[in-house]
Amino acid sequence: MSKGSYPYPEDEFDAAEDLDGPRGVHRAPRSRWRALLPFAVVLVVFAGLGAGVLLYLSNADVTLPAGLGSGTTAGDDGGDGATEGEGDAAPDEGAAPTDPADGGAAEPPATEPAAPEPDLATAVTVFNAAKIAGLAGETAEKLTGAGFTNVDTGNHTGAGVNGTTVFYAVEAQKATADAVAQALGITQVLPSATEAAAGIAVVLEADYQS
């Protein structure tokens, strides 16, 4: 179709493009920072990777090749040896013993031997030296009532004694003689193999209070 036979009026779309004029003049020039952006991204990525590797190595037990880190290892070994030497040091032989008053463990007191028990089956003879009729029999009944099972009576024929006394022949009879004296209210207890030849002897004198 020729231009002379075009039935419509011309508008801005019918204007032919000027092929000889400059092109792309409407584009703004590229920024220098935009050109450097890829390099900056690469640096950030490598920095992050390096930090991750350092963090991993600091937390992991890394075995170094032979010959590396020997100075550190020697120092560590020396430190451990010094520590072990201090821990294994022998105590001072001249140190004073622990005082129980300062919180130390006190030694338990020695256990005292139990007191011997009186033998109520031991032979006991009551002698009447007070010349009071029936005194020996009455005293013997008191001993029987106190639990003694082998009690006899008799008249004292030997020399007089200094007050009413309970005699025992051997030390093993001391506990029994004390029990006899306690049952009768007698305060004097003496050893005498002569007076107590058959066991324990009770010699009643005039001072005895029945």
Q: Which residues pair with 125 in a beta bridge?
A: 152, 201
Give the model's pLDDT for residue 104. 57
Give the model's pLDDT for residue 42. 81
Give the model's pLDDT for residue 114. 76
- Give dist(CA 171, CA 61) in Å, integer: 82
Write down the pTM of the prediction.
0.48
Domains of the chain: 124-204 (3.30.70.2390)
Could you state, in chain order, the average pLDDT of each consecutive group of 10 residues for the chain (210 residues)? Answer: 60 58 56 73 82 79 54 50 52 58 65 84 94 94 96 85 94 96 97 91 92
CB 177 within 8 A of CB 143: no
